[in-house]
Structure 1
Amino acid sequence: MSWLATVAEFVAAFVIVLGAAFALIGSWGLVRLPTLMERLHGPTKATTLGVGGILVGSILVSRLEQGAWSGHELLITLFLFITAPIAANMMAKVHLHRLRLRDAAISPGPAGAPPEPGGEAGWATYEAPQPDTPVATSRE
C-alpha cells in the first residue's frame, strides 16, 4: 500500500467520523430543543452536514476500493442539500402562519407571539409587498 492510499484512507475516515459527529449533534438538538422553530435547526443544518460528510467519505472509500467514482452517493448528497433547506423553510412558514392565526395547538416559543395582521410590522411570509415599498436597485 502506498503512502498516498494511506493518506486517502485517513482523510476518508476523518470525513466519515466528522459527518457522524455532526449527525449526532443534529439529532440530539432535534430531541432536546423545546419548540418547533428551534428543533428545525438540528436536522436542517447539523444533520444535513453530517449525512453529507458520511456520503462524501463513502465516495472516497468507493474510489479507493473499486477504483471508480460512485455517482449514487453524489446524487444523494446533492438531493439532500437541495431539499433539506426548502423543506425547513416550508415548515417554518406553516408554523408562522399558524401562530399568526392564533392556533391553540402550538406555543409561540421564547420569541413571543407574532404581531397582529394589519399592523405596522409586516411579515414577508404573510403579506404581499405594499405598492409604496421602495425597491433597492443598487448596493450601497
Structure 2
Amino acid sequence: MIALVADVIAWACILAGGFFLVIGSLGMVRFPDFWSRLHAASVIDSAGIGLLLLGMMVHSGFTMVTVKLVLIVVFLFITGPTATHAVANAAFISGSRPKDMVEDETTAPEPLRKSRKVKVA
C-alpha cells in the first residue's frame, strides 16, 4: 500500500513537471518579447525540472540516487535564478527595456536641448 502511494505521488510530480516543461516551452516560442520569454525559461528551470527530479526522488526511495538528485536540485535552484538574473541584467544594461516601461530612472538625464525662440511680430 505504501509503495502504491509513493508511485502515485512520484508520477503526479513527474506529470506536473512535464506539464510545466511543455507550457514553458510553448511560452518561449509564443511570447512576444525577450522579457516574457525569459520568464518562461525561468519557469521551465525552476518548476519543471524541480518537479521532475522530485518525482524521481520519491520513485527511487531513500538511496544514494536520491542523495545525488538532491544535490542536483540544490545546484539547479542556486544557478537557475542566478543565471536568469544575470541575463536580464545584461539585457537591461545594454538598452533592452520591457514594452510597458515608460521611463528608466536609473539612467542619467539627457542634456537640455536649446530652446527655439519664436519672434513675435
Q: What TM-score, normalized to structure 1?
A: 0.68
Partner of 1:34: 32
Deviations 1:88-108 (A, max 9, x none): 111111111111xxxxxx6x4
5+ residue gaps, structure 2: 110-121
Partner of 1:68: 63
Matched, 1:111 2:100: yes
- Displacement of 1:115: 3.1
5+ residue gaps, structure 1: 100-105, 120-140
Runs of 4 or more off by more than 6 Å in structure 1? none
- Displacement of 1:47: 3.9
Query: Pairwise CA RMSD of aligned residues?
Result: 1.9
Identity, % of aligned positions: 31
Structure 2 contact 45–80 (Cα < 8 Å) conserved: no
Matched, 1:20 2:18: yes
Deviations 1:18-77 (A, max 9, x none): 1110111111111111211111111112442111101011011111xxx62521111111
The residue type paired with residue 63 of structure 2 is A
Structure-1 separation of matches of 2:13 and 2:30: 26
1:87 maps to which of 78, 83, 102: 83
- Displacement of 1:113: 6.1
The residue type paired with residue 67 of structure 2 is G
Q: Which has the larger radius of gyration?
A: 2
Whose helix proportion is higher, 1 or 2?
2
